Copies of this chain bind each other. A is one copy, B any other.
Amino acid sequence: MSSVAELFLSIFCGFAICCLLLGIASSSSSSGGRFLPMKPSSSSAAAAVTGAQEEESAAAVQQNGGGRQGLIAPDGGALLDLHVAAKDKDAKTAEASTLPQIHISKVDMEWVHVLADGWASPLRGFMRQHEYLQTLHFNCLRLNDGSFVNMSIPIVLSITDEQKEVIGAASAVTLVAPTGTPLAILRNIEIYAHNREERIARTWGTTAPELPYVQEALANSGTWLVGGDLEVLERIKYNDGLDNYRLSPAELRAEFERREADAVFAFQLRNPVHNGHALLMTDTRRRLLEMGYKNPILLLHPLGGFTKPDDVPLEWRMKQHEKVLEEGVLDPQTTVVAIFPSPMHYAGPTEVQWHAKARINAGANFYIVGRDPAGMGHPTEKRDLYDPEHGKLVLSMAPGLERLNILPFRVAAYDKTKSSMAFFEPSRAQDFMFISGTKMRNFAKEGVKPPDGFMCPGGWQVLVDYYRQLQENELQTV
């Protein structure tokens, strides 16, 4: 193995967050852990456990995702859809034009999308104070029947003093997209103080500067939050050629039904898929079959909202994922690729709960978790921001996620003896090469071909193209 290959492998540390492989039984958890996958029979039983939400509501509700018995029930028992009904659209649009207007940011709009589709069910809109406080302190919300659903990330809308003044005593406001289009009515609003320092400290476990989401969405945010019930006027489109991938939880459930899935395993990612990931996913399916499931379906679910500037942009990741399926690395028959519209917090153990909880609402009853999920380097210190083991530990103990089967996975690396990605075996450590990879960008810019078996050639070419055009753009800028 040449030093070129070694260099190549070092590239992928940027992607190494997911560069790990499945080991269902393996776990570094203490007694608090909960990594026992359920048998198929428990899966449908779990759906019955969820009590129906007692609260009556005007929002459109689709019982159990229109669902077949086999899929896990959504949080709160019913999947919410916060779009206005077609018959009401004209009247609501007319009403929206009469209400105080709040212009929202791109990230806020991504949250409107998340809420509208029911990813955060049973949340009916931006959080009111009692929800916000439960999220900050307990990472879960208590329902009327006393049970908990997980909710670890504050989904809140900030407003400025000036915007608060515009709202005055109104009980409803219209949310307006950055393009100027009225998006939604927020009704029965509650305005409360936005203590950014406390929100950041409790969500990220640090107040270090340069947290990407904080810079993007909080640094210039208002000192108030406004919560309420959302009525979204129409489905949010991005017109980037990828809208057909933005399936709602209800649409995903329908697709899983159509495929007669009896298990759905979700893989959250915000990075290109290499053969280590692919091995993990195919191995998971093999294990689920061994457990007695007849048709486990993979939800390959890249995150589509805000990501930090040095992540690979969504459009390039989607091109890369397409190649992975085209070239047969993953089986299109048993894989659904869709975009998860949430913005990224990079809040580690806190955020991984949100990533898992949202996928329950889309019908996933298995969730794959690796090293340092939703983590990143500390902004000011030379260390990971989060202990890389905490994510899966916290996920395994999180209130409201009891019904979800957590699948932790072992580290994978390039096995030099097999010229492929494989589970790392400490007993023959010398055969493996770990991907240490801040060098990745430099390497990709040089267009060096990766060692065989690391990534499908078409997928790799997408990355080479991405870094080439990035470099060209940078040169043009200079």
Q: Which of A's residues lie within 8 Å of B, judged by CB?
A: 29-33, 128-131, 133-134, 136-140, 142, 146, 148, 152, 190, 193, 195, 197-198, 201-202, 204-208, 349-350, 386-387, 390, 393-394, 397-399, 402
Given contacts A350-B137, A397-B142, contact A30 B130 (CB under 8 A): yes
Q: Which of B130, B139, B152, B207 contacts A397 (CB 8 A)?
A: B130
In the complex, the answer to whether B206 meets A138 with C-beta atoms within 8 Å is: no
Asked if B190 and A30 sit within 8 Å, CB to CB, the answer is yes
Residues of chain B within 8 A of A129, CB atoms compared: 30, 393
Q: How far is the CA of A337 from the CA of B366 in the complex (A)?
A: 53
Are B193 and A387 closer than 8 Å at their CB atoms? yes
> Is the Cβ of B202 less than 8 Å from the Cβ of A197?
no
What is the interface of chain A mostly: helix, strand, loop, or mixed?
mixed
**Given A137-B139, A138-B398, A394-B137, A130-B201 contact (CB < 8 Å):** no
List the B residue with the shortest CB-CB distance to A207: B207
Residues of B within 8 A of A387 (CB): 193, 195
From the candidates B29, B130, B397, B402, name the one contacting A29 in the complex (CB within 8 A).
B130
Partner of A133, one of B137, B148, B195, B394: B394
The answer to whether B137 and A349 touch across the interface, beta carbons within 8 angstroms, is yes
Check A399/B206 contact, CB under 8 A, given A129-B393, A130-B29, A130-B32: no
CB atoms of A32 and B198 under 8 A apart: no
Extra contacts, 15 of them, besides A32-B142, A33-B130, A137-B152 (Cβ < 8 A), are: A29-B130, A30-B129, A30-B130, A30-B190, A31-B130, A32-B133, A133-B349, A133-B397, A137-B350, A137-B398, A138-B139, A138-B399, A140-B399, A202-B202, A202-B205
9 A-B pairs whose Cβ atoms sit less than 8 Å apart in the complex:
A134-B397, A137-B152, A137-B394, A137-B398, A138-B138, A138-B399, A197-B206, A197-B208, A201-B204
Per the bound structure, the CA–CA distance linking A30 and B29 in Å amounts to 37
- Distance, CA A30 to CA B192, complexed state (A): 12
A33 to B397, alpha carbons, bound, how many Å? 25
Least Cβ distance of A103 to chain B in Å? 27
Closest B residue to A383 by CB, please name it.
B195
What 9 A-B pairs have minimum CB-CB distances, sorted nearest first? A32-B130, A198-B205, A201-B201, A30-B130, A207-B207, A201-B205, A202-B205, A201-B206, A137-B394
Q: How far is the CB of A53 from chain B (nearest CB, A)?
A: 13
Closest to A33 in B: B130
A327 to B128, CA, bound (A): 47
Q: Which residue of B lies closest to A128 (CB)?
A: B30
In this complex, what residue of B is CB-closest to A150? Answer: B138
- The residues of B that contact A202 with a CB separation of less than 8 Å are 201-202, 205
Closest CB in chain B relative to A210 CB, distance in Å = 15
Which of A136, A198, A208, A394 has the most chain B CB atoms closer than 10 A to its own CB? A198
Known: A142-B397, A397-B138. A390 touches B197 (CB 8 A): no
A137, A142, A206: most-surrounded residue (chain B CB, <10 A): A137
CB A218 to nearest CB in B, in angstroms, measures: 15
Expressed in whole angstroms, the minimum distance between the Cβ of A29 and any Cβ of chain B is 7
Complex Cα distance, B139 from A33, in Å, reads 17
Most B CB contacts (10 A, CB to CB) among A208, A386, A390, A402 go to: A390
Closest to A393 in B: B133
Of chain B, the residue at the smallest CB distance from A389 is B129
Residues of B within 8 A of A30 (CB): 128-130, 190
